[in-house]
Amino acid sequence: MAVKSETGAKGAEIVKMKYIKFNHKKGQCSEDALDIRMNYGNKVEVPEWQSEGSAKDLGGKDAALQKASTPNYPAAYSIKNIEGKTITIKVFFECKKKLRSVKIRAGGGGILGGIKEQTITLNQENIIKLEQQKIAGRGITKEKATWNWEFSIDGKEWQKLPSTSHVIYVVLDIPKSPWNLKEELKKPWADVLELACSWASGQKDLNNAFNAIKRNLWNLLDQNHFFYVVGDKASYVKGNTFNCSQFLKDLYKVKRNINRFDCLAIVTALANSLGYESKGLEKLILWERSDLSHYVTRARWKPNPINTGKGIDDYVIIDKDPKDYYDTIAFHSTDRSQSEGIKALQTFHQEERKWSDLGYHFVINGSGTIYEGREIHIKGCHVAGANTGKIGISMMGNFQDKGFFRNLVDDELTSPTTQQMLSLKQLVRVVDCNYWIDKAGGHRDFDSSRQCPGDNAYPILVRHQLINLAESKEKDTLTDGYSLK
């Protein structure tokens, strides 16, 4: 019997799509979607998509949440696990007329592809193969896939059904610890996948995905969405548990101080949800000097020879791992003219102060260029009588009314530039990630006779949360196998 083409509403009076299951084989992911949650407190209910009113009919616990929403819940796929295999979904079409079967098809579908014409049995579940899916082609992604459904009773006249839309997350491999598909509360969260797939969008390699997530967090810190602080007091990590829920709630809304453990948790939780596997968190270094955009090595600025044995600072070579030696950052200003440059500063230290080399480990000029100064395995010479354990970072410029050793000159900075402050914050992150710094302060904090880094600089360091002299009684840490909440 031929049936005339009707609108979606009219067609739905005859045949109605009741639900679609993406994760229809619990505990498996080679033919269907991954087991995921929405977040710590909410599950992803299966069927993930249900027509209006079906949630209550199916006994769903979140009927109010699901009411009249399309898509109801997202689905996620692992490229490695479905590659070369046929993905399937389960669909349920109901019909109150005396029909046992109809033909169905669907156009669109995005990365899920269209659905070929096929015969399905009404009023029961049917397995449908996604033979046109393109999930692996785009790498990590989040996409809204929309199917435009039609059915036919005789295979000639096709009637439209309401379209269905679905949020699909694509990861590269099975999520790794702290995620675990076999434990309910450790199943990857859609809220985390939302952010991870955004930050690593398009990546097809796990290392590149990890680096993309690191870079996005780096950019957030550059933009002051969070303030990076040295020390062991974390905001989101307590007792080897990462409060991922609070982090997601705060993101782009609340500016908190975060430390290296917070950053490790954020990056690894996001990257590992995509299939990356981070191991040895106690030794994992998030950011290196190569992450600094304006960094000049010592060899590039061609320093003077070191006056070994001639300087009054004795040129002490550290006899242990620098990570075990350094615990403090001391901030300085050079009180020198910008035009003189880094080599002139070294010459001044060697010839006028009689030091063996440049006293600071790092120097930042007004345009934000970071120069490698005294090598890190050599004890610094920047806080008289108290250099042990301190990394010296100095900004070029005079940030007091008058210089300590000379009067102001025309091109000398009187307060830190925006570029200097950005590079300083970036450098602090790198130094802290490599050497696990406990505290940071200005020269004046370690020698009360000094005004350095100057009254025009010190309040800016405080405002950017760079000064941290407090000893934390509750020291946090992060190790492999950390928990989530």
Overall average pLDDT of the 170-193 stretch: 96
| pTM exceeds 0.85, yes or no | yes
Picking from 101, 108, 105, the residue whose alpha carbon sits closest to that of residue 124 is 101
| Sign of the alpha-carbon dihedral angle for 379, 383, 385, 388 | negative
On the question of pLDDT at 189 being above 80, the answer is yes
Which one-letter DSSP state was computed for residue 304? P
Residue scoring higher pLDDT (29 or 256):
256
Percent of the chain with pLDDT over 90: 75
Overall average pLDDT of the 15-38 stretch: 90
Distance CA 348, CA 343 (A): 9
pLDDT band at 130 (very low <50, low <70, confident <90, very high): very high
pLDDT tens for 443-464 read 999 999 999 999 999 999 999 9
pLDDT at residue number 296? 97
Cis amide linkage into residue 178, ω under 30° from 0: yes
Q: Which domains does the chain have, with CATH numbers?
A: 8-171 (2.70.50), 191-280+480-484 (no CATH), 289-454 (3.40.80.10)
Please name every residue paired with 15 in a beta bridge, in sequence order, or none if there are none: 95
pLDDT band at 52 (very low <50, low <70, confident <90, very high): confident
Overall average pLDDT of the 243-252 stretch: 97
Overall average pLDDT of the 333-355 stretch: 88
Contact status, residue 427 vs residue 401, Cβ threshold 8 Å:
no
pLDDT band at 103 (very low <50, low <70, confident <90, very high): very high
Distance CA 298, CA 296 (A): 7
Overall average pLDDT of the 425-452 stretch: 95
Contact status, residue 92 vs residue 19, Cβ threshold 8 Å:
yes
pLDDT band at 410 (very low <50, low <70, confident <90, very high): very low
pLDDT at residue number 66? 41
Distance CA 33, CA 172 (A): 13
Buried residues in 107-144 as b, exposed as e (16+ CB within 10 A): ebbbbbbbbeeeebebeebbebebeebebbebbbbbbe
- How is the chain split among helix, strand and coil, in percent rounded to 5? 25, 20, 50
Order of strands across the sheet that contains 49-50 = 49-50, 15-21, 88-95, 124-129
pLDDT tens for 382-396 read 999 999 999 999 999
Please name every residue paired with 54 in a beta bridge, in sequence order, or none if there are none: none
Distance CA 350, CA 354 (A): 5
On the question of pLDDT at 26 being above 70, the answer is yes
pLDDT at residue number 156? 80
Left (φ > 0), alpha (ψ -120 to 50) or beta: where does 260 sit?
alpha
pLDDT at residue number 415? 86
User: Which of 57-61, 340-344, 397-401 has the lowest average pLDDT?
Assistant: 57-61
pLDDT band at 10 (very low <50, low <70, confident <90, very high): low
Burial class (CB in 10 A: 0-12, 13-18, 19+), 473: exposed
Name the 3-class secondary structure at 320.
Answer: coil
pLDDT at residue number 233? 87
Looking at every residue in the chain, the average pLDDT score rounds to 89
Distance CA 425, CA 10 (A): 62
Picking from 292, 384, 401, 405, the residue whose alpha carbon sits closest to that of residue 340 is 405
